[in-house]
Structure 1
Amino acid sequence: MAKRLSMLMRMGNLTRTGQVGDGREEALADYVLAHAAPGDVDDAIRVIDEYAYRQATLINIGDEKGLVLDAAVRRAEPRLLLELGTYCGYSALRMSRVMGPKARLCSIEFSAANAAVARRIWDHAGLGERVTVLHGTLGDDGRTIDRLNSEYGFGPGRLDFVFVDHIARAYLPDLRRILDQRWLRPGSIVLADNMKVPGAPHYRAYLREHEGTQWRTREHHAHVEYQSWVKDLVLESEYLPSGAATGPGGTGPAPA
């Protein structure tokens, strides 16, 4: 509980810099390089979880909700994936492990320091060019979007999977930017973490408003990363052709 309270007290620093503010992110990279077998993605994931439980809590998706991420990627069978919020690269490790051998993941991170930490960990784990981190945001006057379109193969209907796990206030604006670019195809999946803690009410309200016409959403109930006493929620939303039904009865979210 003390670790979680300490983390909450540093939330202002997190929203400004993307880091907790006590050096734990750089320390994590050192820990992974010292304790994880080189070229072993599974072992890098194991060591990050170990660090989060024993050394310092991290704000990545964590092991419990990570299983939800794994399953969603397997269901989507994506060729092109986008992550909003790299942090230290943990969720990208998980996605790289379950996406197909020809799939490619582009991860966007607004903190240059976090992007460097992720690169160190990915290089140690042997991810190669299957995963790329771009320092920027989708809201930086088109610079990052232009790079995704011109350098990374993004375009209308080409994006199969999106993982949203950055600043809560950017969830809905960034989803709208993705829609404006027409990157999604019918059946593309958007997975969003932290629907209860810290919460993204405008994003959730938008999905409810468009349930059954533009989106089919299922709710995954879990807990805040690396503990078991604060409940959290992950939303898995399938992009639909206009007018598609939601399943039996045609109303309400699909079952989890």
Structure 2
Amino acid sequence: MTERLVRVGDVDLCVETFGSPSDPTVLLIHGACASMLWWPREFCTALAVRGRHVVRYDSRDTGRSTHYPPGRPPYSLRDLADDAVGLLDALAIPDAHLVGRSMGGGVAMTAALDQPGSVATLTLVSTTTGADDLPPMTPEFLSRPTADDPVDDIVLLMRAYAGRSPFFDAAAIRRLAAADVARTACLDAALTNHFAMRMDGPRAGTGPADIAVPTLVVHGDVDPVHPLPHGQALAEAIPGATLLVLTDTGHDLPPQRVGLVVDALVAHTSPDTV
């Protein structure tokens, strides 16, 4: 369980793996501005104990991976999807179960549509179709407080992400935020570039209705960023998708829901599902 840099095309991605490479691989793709640390180690370890080879990594401009000048990322969402599949190639993994969270769900869907042979199943956590008729972010999230200190600001942001969930643990989040800030190569790039990149979609112009791999949609019922109708619409748009609603859960993955999600992922990625 040690981090290492892996060359993927013309970028270096910082990667950490859990479990045996002989087991089915679960590739974890996080959302905007978040390094792999925001996939909790307990979550990764629990999956590995259940017979999954877990790979988490820093996307471009997060953690220790390649970064670019703040506000000037030369890549797009599609490039991040190519990174995910390219990382599998670099690790000699023919295909994987992709788990994308928030913006990472968009990355995972794009990978599944552009390079379906590399994707065994999809799991989309706190993700949206992006349709215009879905509910906006909650007023409480939009008016969230901010702080000048980066660790304090991340704690406030994660508090806002939790919405009305009772599970928010400020002390634990502060420790994680401090660790993330300490290992991030360029914090300004990490906080801005995913919002400044081009948000292009799959090359073929396809969408959720064209996803042809088994898909699990996981969504919190008090998500303030993408309220629950976003997850419901996504599950309805993808043929055969299953929806798992996490009660008292916001846009995050609190420890109190890790076991439930691990159980669902193990079932979803079993040979009977694929």
Whether TM-score is above 0.5 comes out as no
Larger relative CO (CA 8 A, sep 6+): 1 or 2?
2
Normalized against structure 1, the TM-score is what? 0.29
| Bigger helix fraction | 1
